[in-house]
Structure 1
Amino acid sequence: MSPNPDSSEQLPGLWAAYQQHLRGATYTDLTHAFFPGQPRFPAFPDQTFGNFVSLANGALFEVHQYGFVGQWGTHVDPPSHMVAGGRTISELSVNEMLLPLCVLNVSEQVKADPDYRPTLADLEAWEKQHGRVPQGGFVALRTDWHQRWPDRERMANADAEGVAHFPGWSREVLKALLEERGVVAVGHETTDTDGGMSSTRDGDYSLEAYILGRDCWQLELLTNLDKVPETGALLLASWPNPKGGSGFPARAVAIHL
C-alpha cells in the first residue's frame, strides 16, 4: 500500500520535510524574463532571437535559437568572471544552490539618494532585529530598483553627462558579510555591483572583483525582493552547466512562509 500523501509521518527521507514545510510555502520568482532590447551593461551587444524551425512552417518541432553574452538578464557571476583561474560555472557546487536567504532592505534610503550604498549601521540594524546573518547564507540587497525594469533609461538613471546614478554595494558591508559572517554569495537588483557612479564615471569595478576574488559568486538583476521576508526564507538558484563558463542567465526563487 502506498503512503498517504497527506501524512508526513509515513513519508521517507526528506519527503516528510517537504510535505510539512515546503509543499504549502510561497515560491517567489526573483528572476526577470530576458528578451532582446532589455536593460543591460552598456558594452554588451543585444540578444538575438529567432526560429531555427517552426511549427507554423510545418516543422515537427518549435525550436528557438538564442544568442547572448553570458552576463544576460538575471545572471550568475562565478569567480572566473573576473579572476584568472577562479571557479567557473561548471565548478560551482550544487550544494551552493540552496541557501538561507537574508534580504538587506535599503529601499527607503535609495528613494532619497539613488547612489546610496549600505552602511555597517544598516547591517547592524538588520542584525539587531533578526539576529546575526547566518554563515553559509546568501544576502540580497533590496533597493526596489527592479521596479524600473524594463525601462533602460530609468534603470541607468544617467545625468546630462552620461553618468549613471543607481545604488551599489559598499566595501565595508561586503567585507563584514564575506569575511566575518562567511556568506557564500550575494545579489542585487541593478546591472552592476559597484553602483552607477563608480562604473560609468570612474570605471571602478573593484567591489565585484572583491566578491569574486573571495571565491564567492553573485546574482545580478534580481527582482521581487519586496515580496520576500527579510529573514527565514531559502534561496533556490540554478543555471545551465556550460563547461568552463564565466556567466550565464540564472533562475532564482525565494521559498518562504
Structure 2
Amino acid sequence: MCSPEIVRLAHDGAPRPSRRAMFGLAALAALAAVAPAPALAAPRPGAVVDLTHTLTPQLPVWPGNPPIAMVPVAWHASGGFDQLALGYWEHTGTHLDAPAHRIPGGATTEALAVEDLVAPLVVLDISAKAAGDADAVVTVADIDSWRGQHGEIPERAFVAMYSGWEHRIAEPSTFLGLDAQGRPHAPGFSGEAAHHLVAQCGIVGAGVDTLSLDCGVDPDFGAHTALLGAGRYGVEMLANLATVPPVGARIVIGAPKHAGGTGGPCRVLALT
C-alpha cells in the first residue's frame, strides 16, 4: 500500500478520497489503459515464453484486495529521472505463494531454495472441462491421464494447470466468477490431486492460470494446505500456458525475496 505521503502527493487538492482512492486509484486513471498482453503464438524450440501477466490497476485481484497502485514520484523534467512508487498486496498479479502464506511457521520468500525455482515444466490441460464447469478441478485421474499420454512426470517438476481462464482476464467479474453470495468460482487443483503430486510425484511446486491453487468453492483450501504444508510453493495467475508443450520445457521463476514474505509478484519464464 502507498505511504500517506505518496497518497497525499497523488491526491493533493482533491476532495476527501474514498478507501479505494487511498490505494492510488484516482491517481492511476491515466495509467489504466494498458491492456493485458495477448497470448503468444506457439514457440519454436529454444524460445523463451513469458508466463507473466503485466501488472496494471485493471488486473483482477482477490475479492477485497486493492489493485496495484502506481504513483509517479520523480520526473525527468525535475531531476533527470522518472520513478514510480508501487503499492500492492503480496498476492497480486502473477505471484508466488510461499509456505508461510498458509502454514504458520512455514518458509517465507527469502528462505525458498533457489534450485527449486528452476524446474521441468509440466502442463495439465483441463480447459475442455473448465469451459463447461467453473468449479472444475485437476484430479488424480487427470494426472494419470497425462502420464498415459506423456510418460512419468519428471523428477522435481513444476506442474501447472491450464484451464483457459486467462481469456477472461479483460473482464474481472468474469475472471473472478463471483456468485450472489460473493463466492468466487474458478478452476484449481483438488486437495487430493495436490497431495498426490507432492507425495507420489515429488514436485517442487505447482501453478494455475486462476487466482487460487484451489477451485473457488473449496472451503478447506485443500490444495494450498497440501502443497504449502509440504514445503512446496505455488504460483498463481500464470499466463500463456497454452503456448508451451505439455512436457519438455523448463520453468524459471524470478521469485520475490523480502524478509518474512508470504509471497509476491514474480516474473515467470518457460524455456522451450
In which range does the TM-score fall when normalised by the shorter chain?
0.7 to 0.9
Distance of 1:140 and 1:48 partners within structure 2: 28
Which residue is equivalent to 1:216? 232
Choose 132-141 or 161-170, whichever is displaced more: 161-170
**How far did residue 220 of structure 1 move?**
0.3
**How does 1:1-257 map onto structure 2 within 5 Å?**
25-55=46-76, 57-198=77-218, 202=219, 204-256=220-272
Distance of 1:82 and 1:217 partners within structure 2: 10
- What residue identity is the alignment partner of 1:49? M
- What residue identity is the alignment partner of 1:121? A
**How far did residue 84 of structure 1 move?**
1.8
Distance of 2:126 and 2:189 partners within structure 1: 11
- Tell me the TM-score normalized by structure 1: 0.85
- What residue identity is the alignment partner of 2:216? G
Distance of 2:91 and 2:130 partners within structure 1: 25
Choose 138-147 or 153-162, whichever is displaced more: 153-162
Instruction: Give the structure with the larger helix fraction.
Output: 1
- What residue identity is the alignment partner of 2:148? K
Distance of 1:163 and 1:69 partners within structure 2: 20
Q: CA offsets per residue over residues 46-80 of structure 1, 9 Å max, x none?
A: 2221111011x332111111011111100011111
Verify the 8 A CA contact 2:195 2:223 in the aligned structure 1. no
Q: Which runs of 5+ in 1 are unaligned?
A: 1-22
**How far did residue 24 of structure 1 move?**
6.5
Distance of 2:114 and 2:214 partners within structure 1: 27
Q: Which runs of 5+ in 2 are unaligned?
A: 1-43
- What residue identity is the alignment partner of 1:209? T
**How far did residue 194 of structure 1 move?**
1.5
- What residue identity is the alignment partner of 1:231? V
Identity of aligned pairs, percent?
33
Verify the 8 A CA contact 2:186 2:216 in the aligned structure 1. yes
Distance of 2:144 and 2:134 partners within structure 1: 22
Aligned residues: 229
Give the root-mean-square deviation of aligned CA atoms: 1.6
**How far did residue 115 of structure 1 move?**
1.0
Distance of 1:53 and 1:26 partners within structure 2: 36
Q: CA offsets per residue over residues 182-209 of structure 1, 9 Å max, x none?
A: 00100001111221222xxx4x323212
**How far did residue 37 of structure 1 move?**
3.2
- Tell me the TM-score normalized by structure 2: 0.80
- What residue identity is the alignment partner of 1:113? D
Q: CA offsets per residue over residues 164-223 of structure 1, 9 Å max, x none?
A: 22111112211211001100100001111221222xxx4x32321221110000000001
Compared with structure 1, are the counterparts of its residues 45 and 253 closer, same or farther at alpha carbon in structure 2 (3 Å cutoff)? same
